[in-house]
């Protein structure tokens, strides 16, 4: 049909000029058939040595993808005019970056200059989620790595621990994630830790009345200083019952006024989000399904084009031309 043909041409031209690269399943099936297996095996080995690496891969994906694009910009170090995103306050507490290099080295020794760091971040998060007992997520690949840091826009992109729920929902909506998806993604706080600097506002001078009083006492013992040294290793685990499992315990905890961050607490107090909290607290499979769906959307945020990006040889530095 002629009109159909015209539409196809139109879509092709649109695609050509939109400047976005197309992600696809098994993008490396010919250029590096073992890419996904190499990432997976390295993630498993690292997890066995340092379980919290899996937690880190999950947060790294969020902090990479939420800021403009999943383009591994977060991995760049400060050098040659680049100011690393790692110095941003929003990225405080992020860890295990050195093991990104371990994964990249494994990829480079099989397939030099082939697999992007942005895909590495996405695939490591996917495999880390499985190690944490979360769902398996079918993820596309084909992302390119940025040649610049997005440090200047981080504060406008990544919500803060005490932002309002309306603001948080708006930020997630801007990357195509709805209310239900936002509630599900915050379930990532079912694993890992929070440093005292992000908690003391809720503890001093008086404890936030929306916190369970016994839990507030516990947190004060974990965080005894109202004005903690940001460099001090003072923190609390997010989920005391199952700290290394990506399960719906997070929703049960926040329903019991045992959420650590103000954003966590607001999921319960806000009438727009609280019905989903109830559903996720009641059904772990439902949580996993919604989490997988929203994480996939997050992982596909705004991939940069081949012309705009590159495949970095070392995830910490842009390539020399
Ligand atoms: C409104 C949105 C969010 C805010 C304000 C937020 C904020 C935070 C803060 C303040 C911490 C503690 C950092 C520290 O003190 O070390 C944290 C930890 C963490 N966040 Fe989020 N987060 C949000 C959403 C997400 C999402 C969507 C994910 C992943 C899908 C995620 C994954 C994690 C993980 C895994 C940790 C633990 C990191 C570790 O233990 O090393 N967060 N988050
Ligand atoms: C949120 O926390 C930051 C410190 O992490 C603080 O500077 C800011 O004033 C707080 N904002 C509100 C609205 O409390």
- Please state the rounded mean pLDDT for residues 9-31: 71
What the block records as the tokens of 18 is 């939109």
DSSP 237-279: ES-SSSTT--STHHHHHHHTT--SSHHHHHHHHSTTTHHHHHH
pLDDT at 143 over 90: yes
232-245 pLDDT, tens digit each: 789 999 888 899 99
What the block records as the tokens of 121 is 């971040």
Question: Which ligand is in closest contact with the Cα of 265?
Answer: 1
User: Whole-angstrom Cα distance, residue 220 to residue 214?
Assistant: 10
Contact 299, 61 (CB under 8 A): yes
Residue 230: the pLDDT is 72
Helix (H) or strand (E) holding 138: none
Nearest ligand 1 atom, CA 94: 41
User: Whole-angstrom Cα distance, residue 283 to residue 235?
Assistant: 29
User: Whole-angstrom Cα distance, residue 194 to residue 160?
Assistant: 13
Contact 157, 73 (CB under 8 A): no
Q: Which of 50, 63, 150, 225 is catalytic?
A: 63
63 is catalytic: yes
pLDDT at 7 over 80: no
59-77 pLDDT, tens digit each: 999 999 999 999 999 999 9
Residue 308: the pLDDT is 95
What the block records as the tokens of 293 is 């769906």
Q: Which residues of 122-138 are buried (b: 16+ CB within 10 A; e: fewer)?
A: bbbbbbbbbbbbbbebe
| Residues 6 or more apart in contact with residue 59 via CB below 8 angstroms | 94, 188, 192
Nearest ligand 2 atom, CA 197: 5
- Please state the rounded mean pLDDT for residues 122-130: 98
What the block records as the tokens of 235 is 């923190």
Contact 246, 187 (CB under 8 A): yes
What is the chain's mean pLDDT, rounded?
94
Taking the alpha carbons of 84, 321, 24, 136 in that order, is the dihedral positive or negative? negative
Alpha-carbon 212 to chain mean position: 28
Confidence of residue 146 (pLDDT cuts 50, 70, 90): very high
Query: For atom 35 of ligand 1, which residue has the closest CA?
Result: 59
- Please state the rounded mean pLDDT for residues 33-61: 98
Ordered structural domains, the chain, with CATH: 20-155 (1.10.520.10), 165-298 (1.10.420.10)
Quick check: CB of 193 below 6 Å from ligand 1? yes
> Is this prediction's pTM over 0.75?
yes
The most distant pair of C-alpha atoms in the chain lies apart, rounded to whole Å, by 73
DSSP 112-124: TTTS-HHHHHHHH
Length of the chain: 321
| Residues 6 or more apart in contact with residue 9 via CB below 8 angstroms | none
């Amino acid at each position: 049909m002629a009109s159909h043909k015209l539409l196809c041409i139109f879509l092709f031209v649109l695609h050509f000029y939109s400047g976005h690269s197309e992600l696809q399943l098994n993008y490396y099936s010919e250029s590096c058939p073992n890419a996904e297996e190499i990432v997976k095996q390295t993630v498993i080995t690292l997890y066995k040595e340092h379980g919290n690496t899996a937690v880190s891969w999950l947060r790294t994906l969020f902090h990479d993808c939420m800021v403009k694009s999943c383009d591994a910009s977060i991995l760049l170090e400060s050098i040659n005019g680049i100011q690393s995103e790692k110095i941003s306050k929003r990225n405080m507490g992020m860890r295990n970056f050195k093991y990104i290099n371990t994964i990249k080295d494994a990829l480079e020794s099989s397939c030099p200059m082939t697999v992007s760091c942005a895909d590495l971040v996405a695939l490591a998060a996917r495999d880390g989620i499985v190690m944490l007992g979360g769902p398996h997520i079918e993820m596309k690949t084909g992302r390119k790595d940025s040649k610049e840091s997005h440090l200047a826009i981080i504060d406008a992109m990544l919500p803060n621990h005490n932002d309002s729920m309306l603001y948080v929902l708006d930020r997630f909506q801007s990357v195509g994630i709805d209310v239900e998806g936002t509630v599900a993604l915050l379930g990532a706080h079912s694993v890992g830790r929070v440093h005292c600097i992000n908690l003391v506002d809720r503890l001093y001078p008086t404890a936030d009345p929306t916190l369970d009083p016994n839990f507030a006492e516990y947190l004060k013992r974990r965080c005894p200083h109202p004005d903690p040294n940001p460099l001090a290793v003072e923190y609390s685990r997010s989920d005391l019952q199952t700290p290394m499992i990506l399960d719906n315990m997070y929703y049960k905890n926040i329903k019991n006024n045992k959420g650590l961050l103000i954003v966590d607490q607001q999921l319960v107090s806000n009438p727009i989000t609280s019905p989903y909290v109830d559903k996720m607290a009641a059904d772990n499979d439902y949580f996993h399904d919604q989490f997988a769906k929203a994480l996939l959307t997050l992982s596909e945020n705004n991939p940069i084009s081949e012309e705009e990006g590159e495949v970095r040889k070392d995830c910490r530095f842009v390539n020399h031309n």
